[in-house]
Amino acid sequence: MVAINVNVDGRSASHDVEPRLLLVHYLRDVLGKGGTPVGCDTSNCGACTVSLNGQSVKSCTVLAVQADGADVLTIEGLADTVDSDLHPVQEAFRECHGLQCGYCTPGMIMASVDLLKENPNPSEAEIREGLEGNLCRCTGYHNIVRAVQTAAAAMGSGVTA
Ligand code: FES
Ligand code: FES
């Protein structure tokens, strides 16, 4: 076992973990962060995307021990970063019906937040390219793209950051 200390959604957590434990399983099974789903076993779907020290990562591709000393933000802590019930990207997905079953949604939203941080006013092509690591089996992506465009407009207009 290896001792790790991770700040997750603004709270410090310390645990002894197996060196092989994946970050996604640490979040879900040790911390009870069920908002971050596992959608595949091939690192393809992106459903497990979280922010690790400000960069979106597929948490099934990171070991929990690699997050030692890091700041991790999951979908469950996202709204707290803007001190609101919903982050503007969450609000835009709701407004634009950017989800159906919702399984991909936490990862889509975390990846979209990262995309908009890098490029606050992306074109449709840039949104599609930026989210290509996140798969959705339901929506056909159209409303997801609209949601990201809506969020970009809201954030650009100073609704929140
Ligand atoms: S569960 Fe991580 S990419 Fe699918
Ligand atoms: S909403 Fe069902 S997988 Fe995307």
Give the distance (Å) from ligand 2 centre to CA of residue 118.
24
Tokens 């690591």 label which residue? 133
Closest C-alpha residue for ligand 2 atom 4: 136
Closest C-alpha residue for ligand 1 atom 1: 38
pLDDT, residue 103, reads: 97
pLDDT, residue 142, reads: 97
Of the pLDDT bands very low, low, confident and very high (cuts 50, 70, 90), residue 93 is very high
Residues with Cβ within 8 Å of residue 117, at least 6 apart in sequence: 54
- Please list the residues that pair with 11 across neighbouring strands: 8
DSSP 30: I
- The domain ranges of the chain are 2-77, 79-156
Q: For the residues 73-102, what does the mean pLDDT come to?
A: 96
Percent of the chain as helix, strand, coil, to the nearest 5: 40, 15, 45
> How confident is the prediction for the chain on average, in pLDDT?
96
Residues with Cβ within 8 Å of residue 78, at least 6 apart in sequence: 87, 89, 90, 109, 110, 113
Point out the least confidently predicted range of 27-36, 58-67, 107-116, 151-160: 151-160
The yes-or-no verdict on residue 161 having pLDDT over 70 is no
pLDDT, residue 89, reads: 98
Give the distance (Å) from ligand 1 centre to CA of residue 159.
32
The yes-or-no verdict on residue 101 having pLDDT over 50 is yes
Of the pLDDT bands very low, low, confident and very high (cuts 50, 70, 90), residue 158 is low
CA 111 to chain CA centroid, nearest Å: 5
**Which of the pair, 73 or 84, is modelled with greater confidence?**
73
pLDDT, residue 83, reads: 85
Point out the least confidently predicted range of 61-65, 137-141, 153-157: 153-157
Give the residue, out of 38, 57, 63, with the most ligand 1 atoms within 8 A of its beta carbon, to mutate for a pocket test: 38
Protein fold of 2-77 = Ubiquitin-like (UB roll) (3.10.20)
pLDDT, residue 159, reads: 52
Distance CA 120, CA 131 (A): 14
- Asked if residue 148 lies in contact with residue 122, where contact means CB atoms within 8 angstroms, the answer is yes
Query: Residue 17, SS3?
Result: strand
pLDDT, residue 6, reads: 98
Does the beta carbon of 60 sit less than 6 angstroms from any atom of ligand 1?
Answer: yes
Among 1.10.150.120, 3.20.20.60, 3.40.50.300, 2.40.30.10, name the CATH number for the domain at 79-156. Answer: 1.10.150.120
